[in-house]
Structure 1
Amino acid sequence: MRKEKIISEYIDRLNQEQVPGKEAWAEEEIKELTDTIRALKSLEEPVYPEEGFEKQLSDTMWRAYKETGEKERKEPAKRGSKLPKRVFWGAAAAAAVFLGVLYLKGPIFSGTDPVYAMEQAYEKANAYHGILTVTSINGEGQRNVQAVREVWADKEGRYYVKELQGIQKGLITANNNKEKWQMKKEDNYISLYAAFPDNYSFTFEIGKEIKEIEEAKAVKEADEDTIGGVQAVLYKVTPKGGDTYSLWLDKNTGMPLKKQSAMVNGIAYELSYKDIAYTSSIPKEYLSYGDLTGYVVNREDNWQLCATMEEAEGISGFTPELPDISETSYSMMEISANAADKALKVYYGLDGQENKIAVIEKAAAAKEESSKAVTGSIGSIKAEIITDAEGTDIEAGSKAVSIAAESFGQQTGITSIRWQQDGIAYQIIGNGSMDEINVFVKALTGNKAVLPEVKEDTPQVKADYDIKTEEETQKGVDAGHQPWKLDPAFVAQVFTSLLLYPEGITGDYPIPYEDFKVTKNTGSSVVIEVDNKKSPVSKIYLKQLVRQDSTGIWTVVGYDKNNNYRKN
């Protein structure tokens, strides 16, 4: 084994550009082999053997060794004869020379396993730093830079990403394995999240790329290329259950330089690193958000801001259908995703104006009716329309959020349209006109949302009311008293309870709130069905008599009797 060890060390020293030890010339037989190795090293790069060659060679040599041993046992050689073993070890040394020379030229060249190349490059440091550019490419080849970001990341899963260009310019997303945060220092606002689980994965993270290529169905070398003056090798990677994408590795270092996704829904993404380099660690100041004095700190929001749609899709878990607004003056302003609810939210706006439209998409669930909504239609699809949504709780994620407080300030004239289609729940909210909202509705469905024709319903029994009393009640509600008068279902519940107990209600209401269902809403009049056998009424009719908007109180104007009701 001594000779084989000398040959192996000789090859290693040549690879490291070191002078071989003098033992390499100690024996004539070894000297002949080392001369051959030096001659091979001076040649052009060899053609890499087919996949599995090393294993085949190893198996062949092992069989040869076993056969040699069996032959020696059957036909003993003369005392002192070493020929059989010399034959075997000579072949083994030649194999070692051949395999060793394949790697004399450096870690990356045509034919090299890209997984091995990336792993070898990644092993050289604990962290890396680079400038990453994200570009979208449409079917016509038009390119649009979506984001330019500074990236710091290490092998422990910590990262610091700052958006240098794009719709989220200035946004910092970081995780120090103890806490995760998103912040914009110029806005004095920060959202804090648990470090784990972390659904955010910044685009083109090297550790993730290595794992994905290891698990890929196929990896094929396609060509050699030059990226920004750097020689690179192009590979075509086909992941399991996915579309083939392109990956460029630095020919000299093995570091990934560029990646281009497959074309999906007419869009492909190109991701390219500039000035990428290894470092020993992420600077300490980047793994702490610092003093939060004067900051608005949010610890409850499940929505995370995203710089690209690709990142939002990764967090939410589904690919949205975005409206085509190319022929409008609107432009995309902000993207956010919600991992808990598998939802996406995209804001569009007009330059220099306060008009804003939010498009929210998520996996469809059980529909929740709003007592303020009018049941309209979008073609053959049933739609929930609210033309005075300001101050109204509208579901837009993991919990109901006040649209006025969340996105549109204290503006009035907020319109919301919500519907379900093909397993997706859509909601479009905006402070523009119904016609402006319909631009987005039509872009998604091919039809506009239409309000229902107003048809007056006639109750079986008319309820008594005094308009002056209602006007005084309205003033009281405006002053903060009896806020339940703004909820027609609550008003119907109180009315029904007083029919059962005219002397007054103590304790819980006899008919639960959830048994009062809004079946018709024209905006200023509502019909509510009571789904309870204990109720003396089956339908209740309400109107906004004093003020017809979100601040107007509701008054019962009539009801239908429940024919199945039996008084206890």
Structure 2
Amino acid sequence: MKTNDNFAQKSPEQELDDFINALNLERQPIESTNEDVAELQSLTRRIKNLRPAVNPREQFTLQLQEKLLRGPKPQKRFLPWSALVASILVIIFLISPWSHSNKDLVLAMEQKVKQLENYHGILEKTSSNAAGETQIIQRIEIWSVGNKYATRSEEGIVTVNNGESRWISQPKSKEITLLPIYLDPHDFDLQEEASRAKQYPHKIVGEETIAGHEATRIEIEPPGGLPYYLWIDTETHLPIQLQTAMQKSLQTTFTFVTLETNTQIPNSTFNYDPPEGYRIIDQNPDKPAVTLAGAITISGLTPLQLSEKPQRMFASSNRIVFDFIDTIVIESKATTPFVLSPLATLGQAEGGPLEILPDSLRWQQNGLEIQVQGQRSEELAKQLTNSIAIPAEGQVLPNQSKVKVEIDMEIVKNNQQQVDAGSSPWQLDPAQVAFTFAVLKISPEGIQGEPPFDYNSLKVTSNTGTDATIQILEGPVKVVYLKRLIRQDQSGIWTVVGYDPR
């Protein structure tokens, strides 16, 4: 007799496998009607939740022992119990808390964040001073689904980015402000914090209860900076609290007082539906363009062509944006001389300077200024130009200076911490550091009035992100050599390690 697939009974191993998959995806699993499989499911759930496991019932234990010794009855279409028990032992090893090292905790968090389909929660921001006094600064409700993100403050201010439009709705003034959908940072972004925790040295420092949840507190130490703390929910492995370092006697803490994951979020949460009587303030110059010809008509540009078709296009006067979801390419009319960001590494493109920032490349070509931002920035940039040179990450240049500068590392560490606290941000700019060094060579007691030479006489001749050389066209110093000695990323300060006199 042919069996109807709709009524085909799953094997115990398939039931258990489906149960585990549902748990891993944070979905409601289907409980088995088979008493023995249900017992294994119950044990698996307890281990998964990192809760104290309840001993299986005595009858189940005896039955399990008997089946291990005798094997299953021939007429039953079940997985051999020895294999089933071996499977559950593997499960216990993989998901039990004692199977992970400190490093694995952060890796587990990263994987859990990647599995998020959506989340909804309330994020509380508090501030504490050196005396231990704490006050709530802000509490916002957050909805996130894929690339859609919405927040609502206690004052009713709503901010939404639905992947196509981004706006802020302010009921008090009855205004809606339209913004570009790009470059939309969030406080306590789960993906970003998981990435940082993996990138920087970290260690487990304790277990605490946060918003009613048991959590593991880890200390994260950015090189040369003050440590800060992240709390990871021991049940969900998701970050639920972030605390910054104490800076200028103030410390900020972000806490998800509630957090639901992979839940039901209405699509209407992200719909753009301005209430009647609201004033619309449009600060988003880029409008959707259905075709490339339409984008050219709107912008008045003849853009460089990419070999790959973008998902979406936007355009405004003298500007076209090609959107590849994870990366955008902006082509605009070059109306001003190219100025390198002080935080950028220096490369070469089309015979000119190439600005290199994390997931961002910018250069000028054929009368256009081109900026590529996102995960595939280098890949897409190479579709626009064959003449591109990017220095190797962390490439160290030899210190060929004629005069070496003696370094006091304690002073450098103190300077780094001052910049982390918001003071002297000019030390993040190698040109500013070189300029200050050269000026003090002329005026050791400090600058009185106008500087002795023009800042525009400086030229960045190399910058690998860790090493830089600055050429000065006038004054007693010809070339300044600098390094990031404490932290080799955008937050690291520059220090002069040598120079060439004129």
TM-score (norm 1): 0.38
TM-score (norm 2): 0.42
